Amino acid sequence: MDAADMGKDLERVLITEEELQAKIKELAGRIDEDYAGEELLIVGVLKGAVMVMADLARALHLPVQMDWMAVSSYGAGTKTSGVVRVLKDLDTDIAGRHVLVVEDIIDSGLTLSWLVHNLKSRNPASVEICAALRKPDAVKVPLDVKYIGFDIPNEFVIGYGLDYAERYRNLPFIGTLAPHVYGAS
Ligand code: XMP
Ligand code: MG
């Protein structure tokens, strides 16, 4: 899927495919350096982090293991419910392991601060965060994000794993939706 396939639903492209891929390579380079000689488990947060996980994993020179968690903080729309539920837990025992949580976006930061707290209670060697995107409200929750792709304006974005009502995840770029898609006039 690309911009042309969206017709009038696309408002504008915020971050191009090229910019995303260059940033992922840059982050992978830092992660390779920081974890040199270590065994790393990267944990993707379903479903939004699928694209960034796939690209990051392939950009890394480090041999990594991959696992997934599914948590829900949003419903089908664009407003947070404030509730975090574990829909799928890790298959891996992370005790003594170096864990890097990979997320698509940090909005309020509530999801990740809850998740990091939950993972730390399992006695890993370390837990760090890598997120492709971060919104301004994230600063309100104390959250140590070691690897961040882009700081973006406080707008609802889609693409590169991010959806609106489960659509547009397979766009290779980050964009915003035209108001008519939300049912606004
Ligand atoms: P919090 O507020 O806990 O939220 O940091 C993180 C989760 O909220 C979702 N989210 C979005 N999803 N476009 C999306 O498609 C957005 O602009 C957006 N902002 C937040 C996302 O699931 C993320 O993991
Ligand atoms: Mg997500």
- Looking at domain 18-154, its CATH class is alpha beta
DSSP string, 71-107: EEEE-SSSSEEEEEEEEE--SS--TT-EEEEEEEEES
Q: Is residue 184 scored above 60 in pLDDT?
A: yes
| pLDDT value of residue 105 | 96
Residue 81 to residue 73: CA distance in whole angstroms: 6
Residue 49 CB less than 6 A away from ligand 1: no
| pLDDT value of residue 20 | 98
Q: Ligand 2: distance of its center to the CA of 100 in Å? A: 15
Kindly report, residue by residue over 140-169, the tens digit of the pLDDT.
888 999 999 999 999 999 999 999 999 999
The pTM assigned to this predicted structure is: 0.93
Kindly report, residue by residue over 88-112, the tens digit of the pLDDT.
999 999 999 999 999 999 998 988 9
Task: Average the pLDDT over 6-22 and give the result.
Answer: 95
Least confident of 27-31, 34-38, 138-142, 175-179: 138-142
Cis peptide before 47 (omega within 30 of 0): yes
Residue 69 CB less than 6 A away from ligand 1: no
In the chain, where the domains are located: 18-154
- Is there a contact between 175 and 162 (Cβ–Cβ < 8 Å)? no
What ipTM does this complex have? 0.93
